[in-house]
Structures are given as C-alpha cells and as structure tokens.
Amino acid sequence: MMTVAPARAEILQLYRSFLRVARKFPDYNIREYAKRRTIDGFHHNKSLSDSSSIAQAFSDAKAEFQIAERQALVYSLYAPKFRSIMDIPNR
Amino acid sequence: MTFSKHLVSKLRNLPLISQTLTRSLSTAAAATATAPPPPPPLDDPDSISMKGVRISGRPLYLDMQSTSPVDPRVLDAMLPFFVSQYGNPHSRTHLFGWESESAVETSRSQVARLINASPKEIIFTSGATESNNISVKGLMHFLRSSKRHVITTQTEHKCVLDSCRHLQQEGFEVTYLPVEKDGLIDLGKLRDAIRPDTGLVSVMMVNNEIGVIQPVEEIGKICKESNIVFHTDAAQALGKVPIDVQSMNIGLMSLSGHKIYGPKGVGALYIRRRPRVRVEAQMNGGGQERGIRSGTVPTPLVVGFGAACDVAMKEMEYDDQRIRGLQERLLKGIQDRVDAVEINGSAERRYPGNLNLSFRFVEGESLLMGLKEVAVSSGSACTSASLEPSYVLRALGVDEEMAHTSIRFGIGRFTTEEEIDRAVELTVKQVLKLREMSPLYEMYQQGIDIKSIEWAQH
C-alpha cells in the first residue's frame, strides 16, 4: 500500500493554520511553545524525502493540529483574569 | 553585637534600617520604608494583590521542580473521561467499565514504554509519595523476618526519610549515607554500609532541590551483586533523563505525574517481576492493582499520566537540548553581572532544568520578597513552611547563611528565552540592591576575610 504524500501546498497550508491556532492560546507559555514547536517541527521534517515518512509526519501533524484547535478553545474559555507579566508591555 | 549582625537579622524591620544606616537608601526602599503605600485604585484591571504583595500580572513560572503546567495534549486526552467516558475501570459488566479499563491499560503501556518495563510491572498510585511509602515500608514489612537494614541517603525526599524513621521506630536499622560536596554519594561508602541483613537501598535518581543525578547504573550493579532490592525515586527524572530499568537493575521505582506536565494526584510504582519483588500493601481494600494498591483507579488522571509519558518520550531530546541552552543563558546572565554566586550541587552531573544558586552577602527572605514577579522557590516546597534551612543543603556542607540565600530556578518545556532574560534582570537587580546595603559585602570587596574577623562582645 503506497501512501500518497501530501502536496507541498497542503503542507504549507497546515503550517500556516497551525501557527494561526497557536496564536489563539491566551496563556503566554503555551502560546509561545505552540508557535516555536510548530516552526521547529516543520523545519526538522523539511529534509524528509521518502513519501511514506512524509505522509506519516503530515498525518501526525494534522492530529496535533486538531488537538491544538480544541485546546485553544478550552484555554480561552478558562483564561485567567490577569495575564502573565510577560504579556504586559513595557514592564 | 555589631551593626552588620543587627542588619542581617533585622532586615525585615525596615524602620530600624532607616534609622541606623547613614548612607542614603535607594529610592524604592526609601519610599516603602517611610511613606505608607497609596490606597489601591478601585478598578485596576492589571493588578493582583495577595498576602500583602501587589503585582501587575501573573508571575513568570520558574518553579518546575515543585510542579509543572499540564501540557495541552495531556488535557485533551483527559477531558473525554471527565465528560462522557466516566465509567469505573473495575466494572466488568458494561461498556462504561470496559472502555475505562481499556484506557487504563493503554496508559499503563505508555508509562512502561518510557522506562523500558513491562506494563504488568506498573501499579498506579496517588503519586510518588505513596509509591515511596509502598516501596520503603511495604518492602521491609514483607521482608521483616529476614532483613532488618535499609540504606538511604541524607538528601532523599522527605517521604522516604520519614518512612525510614517510621521503620526505625518499629525496630529496623537505617543507614543514612552522607553525600559529598557535590551532592553525589560515594560508592565506596555504599559498599561498606551493606550488611548481610540489608533489604533495601533507596537512592533518588535526580534530586528535587539541587538537581544532581546520582550514579544509578553503578548503584544498581552493586545492589545486584549483593542481591539487594534497589529502589529509586524517579519523580524528577521521568521523561527528562533516559531511564532503563533493565540496564539500571532497578527493583522498585516511584514515578510522579505532575512533574512531567501531567495532572496532579496520580503517580505510579514500578515493581520488578523478574526476579520478583514483593511488597506488603499499604492501602487495603478490593485488591485492585494486583493487590498492591486497592482503590478505584482514577481513569482521567491515569489517562493524563499515560499521555504525559507518551509526549515526554517524543519530546525528550528536543526539550533536553532547549533546556540545556536556557540553563546556560540563565547562569551566564547572572554570573556575568554578579559575583560571589555559588551553584549548589555538581555542575556536571546535573539535570539542566534545575539550577540552585546561593548568593553570598544577601539575605534570603528579602531576596525572595523582591522577586515576586518570578515564581521561584528557596529550598523545596515541602520544607519551606519551616524556617530552618534545607536539610539537603546542610547535607552538602553549605553553611547556614548560604543555605538561606539559595534560590532554585526550575526551567521546563514551556520556558522561553524572554522569561530567562527577565528572571536574570530581576534577580541581578535585587541582588545588587541588597548588596549595596550590605556592609559585609563592602568588607568583602575591600579584601577582608569575614571569617577571620573577631567580633567584639558588647
């Protein structure tokens, strides 16, 4: 069974959606982690050439993206009243 | 009784300082010492006031050894078990029980995979404290007719030391091995302490206060040669340093959920099957978890723990590299601008996410009071309620004043470079401010050896 690797455009679309969702987290640490981990994760897999491993990496990323979407919503529902001191400018 | 001792012991009593010091105080200290604080504005959206401290936002978190935030991937795995799949895993007669049991077994294998064990060797408990209790008391009670001696270290977690004290009251003998200046035990002393009736050696893998990594492989080998069960408290080590119960010859291991970005209230005990290690249960009841720990297994927490172990296995290398870099940044940032800073514990054999520093000529409480925007800890959470300095630092031979000024920075998966930079800035600022007021520091800068001074009796 030969898994078809996703097209480059599809991968980039997932990457951009992932970063968009990452920005939605109200918690400073989780937000920064999600952004950083997405960038590092996609960069790390950039050099993959074998189509089944690309497909595997893509489906893993897609599953993580769905987790991030759900959790961004949950974290927004329970965002604390006061933001982290790192989110407050010029202090 | 001199001026400086007056200062160090009564630093909290601010009006006294303003009367006795002849130099001008920094403006911030002067403002708080002389004028009463203005009444807080009624509608201040960005200001939290608790325990007399007012800060403009939630502090940045650098206390990963006391607990860690729950990873969103872990929370995602747990929520369905609070919302719809709420069955008791021990109910054998309906779907709710079956799906709950299946989730618990999946988690069991996730935990086992992280430590290279079989799922049959994992027992879920309420945390590492309970696992430590089962290991120390449960094992020795089982062996009470043949083995009467336990070897542990002076830097173990309070629950292990307290369990050993309990055993001593029952008539067992316990040897508390001393540690060297770098926090590591001397393997020769361990060998010498072993007796024919030694039943257990308990040495924690990564210390929660100072972060040193004990030579677990060597200890495991010594225990295997003498046929003694080796117990290690791996609460701080799980998911951070690679653990292999086979190569390390571990017989019992305590694991904790909330140190690896999992939920609080769950942990596990690894208990070896070949050769079989047997313990007496501490929680009696319906015989759940192979009779070792009765009580309903908390499915959502266990699922969270399993998911945390799974995430940790995937992220261990990435996190380790990052945290190493962040620790170097923190250490360099502080050491570049402040002198007379000492790292407590070995600098080489340490887990990078734990940095315990002592600042000479600075009073510990006032240092912490000025660091309210950084959530750090001084000494471990378990001992900070009392006023005495940490027993771990005392075991290292750190003198009392340095023990009082120790700060433990905990770096984790979610820590950012900006947080490290901010923590460095705040720490350095506070240390420099306090040192400016310290006459002892002035003497040190002039080259006087404080220890050689003969204080006059008044």
Tens-digit pLDDT profile for residues B306-337:
999 999 999 999 999 999 999 999 999 999 99
Query: Mean pLDDT across the stretch B298-312?
Result: 97
Residue with tokens 């972060």: B211
Q: What is the mean pLDDT of chain B?
A: 88
Is residue B381 predicted with pLDDT exceeding 60?
no
Query: Mean pLDDT across the stretch B149-171?
Result: 96
Is residue B19 predicted with pLDDT exceeding 80?
no
Query: Mean pLDDT across the stretch A63-85?
Result: 94
d(CA B77, CA B67): 20
Sign of CA dihedral A18, A24, A29, A32: positive
d(CA B262, CA B320): 18
Query: Mean pLDDT across the stretch A22-39?
Result: 96
Is residue B32 predicted with pLDDT exceeding 50?
no
Is residue B4 predicted with pLDDT exceeding 70?
no
Task: Provide the pLDDT for residue B33.
Answer: 47
Helices (DSSP H) in B282-438: which residue ranges?
299-337, 364-370, 391-396, 400-404, 417-436
Lowest mean pLDDT among B6-10, B71-75, B271-275: B6-10
A47 Cβ contact partners less than 8 Å away, ≥ 6 residues apart: none
Is residue B445 predicted with pLDDT exceeding 90?
no
B22 Cβ contact partners less than 8 Å away, ≥ 6 residues apart: none
Check B58 against A82: CB less than 8 A apart.
Answer: yes
d(CA B206, CA B184): 10
Tell me phi and psi for residue B68, to 5 degrees. Answer: -130, 155
Query: Mean pLDDT across the stretch B54-74?
Result: 94
Instruction: Grade residue A2 by pLDDT with cuts at 50, 70 and 90.
Output: low
Q: Which residue of B58, B60, B415 is in closest CB contact with A80?
A: B58
Query: Mean pLDDT across the stretch B157-186?
Result: 95
Is residue B27 predicted with pLDDT exceeding 60?
no
Task: Provide the pLDDT for residue B31.
Answer: 44
Tens-digit pLDDT profile for residues B215-244:
999 999 999 999 999 999 999 999 999 999
Check B414 against A80: CB less than 8 A apart.
Answer: no
Query: Mean pLDDT across the stretch B398-422?
Result: 92
Task: Provide the pLDDT for residue B448.
Answer: 83
Query: Mean pLDDT across the stretch B385-399?
Result: 82
Secondary-structure percent of chain B, ordered helix, strand, coil, rounded to 5: 40, 15, 45
In the chain, the amino acid numbered A65 is F
Q: Taking a contact as any Cβ pair under 8 Å apart, which residues of chain A between 4 and 63 contact chain B?
A: 25, 29-30, 32-34, 36-37, 40
d(CA B243, CA B113): 10
How is B256-324 classified by DSSP, letter by letter? ESTTTT--TT-EEEEE-TTTT-----SB-SS-TGGGTB-S---HHHHHHHHHHHHHHHHHHHHHHHHHH
pTM score, whole prediction: 0.88
Task: Provide the pLDDT for residue B389.
Answer: 75
Which of B42 and B192 is assigned the larger pLDDT? Answer: B192
C-alpha angle with apex B63: B402 to B340, nearest 5 degrees?
25
Are B218 and B187 contacting, i.e. CB atoms less than 8 angstroms apart? yes
List the beta strands (DSSP E) in B37-134. 48-50, 53-55, 60-61, 122-125
Is residue B26 predicted with pLDDT exceeding 50?
no
Active-site residue, B309 included: no
Domain spans of chain A?
A: 8-79
Instruction: Grade residue B25 by pLDDT with cuts at 50, 70 and 90.
Output: very low
Which of B449 and A62 is assigned the larger pLDDT? Answer: A62
B447 torsion bin: left (phi>0), alpha (psi -120 to 50), beta (else): left
The CA dihedral of B69, B303, A19, A44, to the nearest 10 degrees, is: 100
Q: Which helix (H) or strand (E) holds B358?
A: strand B354-359
Tens-digit pLDDT profile for residues B84-141:
999 999 999 999 999 999 999 999 999 999 999 999 999 999 999 999 999 999 999 9
Task: Provide the pLDDT for residue B58.
Answer: 92
Which of B380 and B318 is assigned the larger pLDDT? Answer: B318
Beta-strand pair B198-202/B229-233: parallel
Residue B305 sits at the chain A interface (C-beta within 8 Å): no
d(CA A36, CA A72): 16
Residue B57 sits at the chain A interface (C-beta within 8 Å): yes
Q: Which residue of B76, B416, B418 is in closest CB contact with A71?
A: B76
Is residue B383 predicted with pLDDT exceeding 50?
no
Tell me phi and psi for residue B132, to 5 degrees. Answer: -65, -40
Residue B7, token pair as written in the block:
């200062």
Check B48 against A82: CB less than 8 A apart.
Answer: yes
A90 torsion bin: left (phi>0), alpha (psi -120 to 50), beta (else): left
Residue B324, token pair as written in the block:
């190493």
Tell me phi and psi for residue B320, to 5 degrees. Answer: -60, -45
Is residue B22 predicted with pLDDT exceeding 70?
no
Residue A70 sits at the chain B interface (C-beta within 8 Å): yes
Residue B65, token pair as written in the block:
């050894």
ipTM for the complex shown: 0.94
Is residue B251 predicted with pLDDT exceeding 80?
yes
Q: Running DSSP on this structure, what letter comes out for residue B426?
A: H
Task: Provide the pLDDT for residue B444.
Answer: 86
Instruction: Grade residue B48 by pLDDT with cuts at 50, 70 and 90.
Output: confident
B57, closest residue in chain A (CA to CA): A85
C-alpha distances in Å from residue A86, one per residue of A27, A72, B138, B327, B374: 10, 19, 46, 19, 10
Lowest mean pLDDT among B143-152, B186-195, B368-377: B368-377
Query: Mean pLDDT across the stretch B348-359?
Result: 94
Long-range CB contacts for residues B12-18, cutoff 8 Å, separation at least 24: B12/B365, B12/B366, B17/B437
User: Mind telling me how many Å the CA of B456 is from chain A's nearest CA?
Assistant: 46
B315, closest residue in chain A (CA to CA): A37
Tens-digit pLDDT profile for residues A37-63:
999 999 999 888 888 999 999 999 999
Q: Is cis: bond before B36, omega within 30 of 0?
A: no
% of chain B residues with pLDDT over 90: 74
Is residue A3 predicted with pLDDT exceeding 50?
yes
User: Mind telling me how many Å the CA of B74 is from chain A's nearest CA?
Assistant: 10
Is residue B20 predicted with pLDDT exceeding 90?
no
Task: Provide the pLDDT for residue B385.
Answer: 57
d(CA B255, CA B110): 13
d(CA B87, CA B303): 13
How many A/B residue pairs have CB atoms within 8 Å? Answer: 64
